[in-house]
Amino acid sequence: MEIDTRSFVSKCCTGSESAWSKFFELFHPLIAGTVRKIVEFDQEDVVQTVYFKLIEDNYRLLRNFRGDSFYELLAYIRQISHNVAANHRRSQGVEKSQTTSIDDFLELLTANDTPETRYLQLEASSEIMAAVMSLDAKYREPAYLLMQGYKHKEIAGILAIPIDTASTRIRRAYQKLEENLKELVKK
């Protein structure tokens, strides 16, 4: 991405409208996409709250950005969007119902990738995360992304692999995880 990241952030922090127009162009898909993975209702309101958070207190959050690269800025904006959306979800009292049990998680791995399926980010327990981390990278990454609420097609996009490969890896991840997780439950 051909922008001078530090300079761009500084200009946004001055309230420059041209810099913010560029910001909308570059980051709106990221903010909206992140929010959609976490909240089911009021998505537009939550996206707007992310922007207001970025502006409030004299752009405090943007001023705290310490990175230099565009990728770092992407990760930073994503994290802010995630935090705002997660706070909103908590304020709606839905956090508990989203917490995934081991069985739920295994079910998720075998679920069909249909539009009816609710793909929202899940709060994974440390046991699930440990089990996911125990997988080889090629299975760990799709399993982790599934936890983040992505569909098979999106996982394929993120990992730059064909959708069939993504689905196969998810099925294999399930087979490996099932054994590991059931073992953990027994303990």
Partner 1 sequence: MNDKHLKEQELSAYLSGTVTKTVREDIERHLKLCNTCFQNFMNMKEAIFLQKGGEKISSKMKDSVLQRIRDSRQSHISIIVRFLKDKIVVFSGDQDSLSYQGLKATFAFRDGEADILTRSKEGPISITRVIDDREVTITIHPLSQKDRIGLSLIVKPSESLQAAVSFNGEEIETIADISNQSMLSTHLPKQGELDIKFSKQNQTVFTITLNLEAGE
Q: How far is the CB of 140 from partner 1 (least distance, A)?
A: 7
Half-sphere exposure of 87 toward its Cβ, with a 13 Å CA cutoff? 12
Q: How far is the CB of 62 from partner 1 (least distance, A)?
A: 10
Q: Which is nearer to partner 1, 25 or 116 (CB)?
A: 25
Alpha-carbon distance of 151 to 145, in angstroms, equals 8
Contact between 121 and 105 under an 8 Å Cβ cutoff? The reply is no
Contact 9, 69 (CB under 8 A): no
Residue from 32, 94, 106, 184 binding partner 1 (CB under 8 A): 32
Per rule CB under 8 A, is residue 27 in the interface with partner 1? Answer: yes
Can you tell me the distance from the alpha carbon of 95 to that of 87, in angstroms, rounded to the nearest whole number? 9
Per-residue binding letters, 93-132, with partner 1 (x by CB under 8 A): ------------------------------------xx--
Contacting residues for 159 by C-beta, under 8 A, at least 6 apart:
141, 142, 145, 166
Residue 89: name the closest of 1, 145, 149 by CA: 149
**According to the binding rule CB under 8 A, does residue 29 interact with partner 1?**
yes
Interacting residue ranges for partner 1, rule: CB under 8 A: 6, 10-11, 13-18, 20, 24-30, 32-34, 44, 47-48, 51-52, 55, 58-59, 63, 67-72, 74-75, 77-79, 129-130, 133, 137, 140-141, 144-145, 148, 150, 154, 157-159
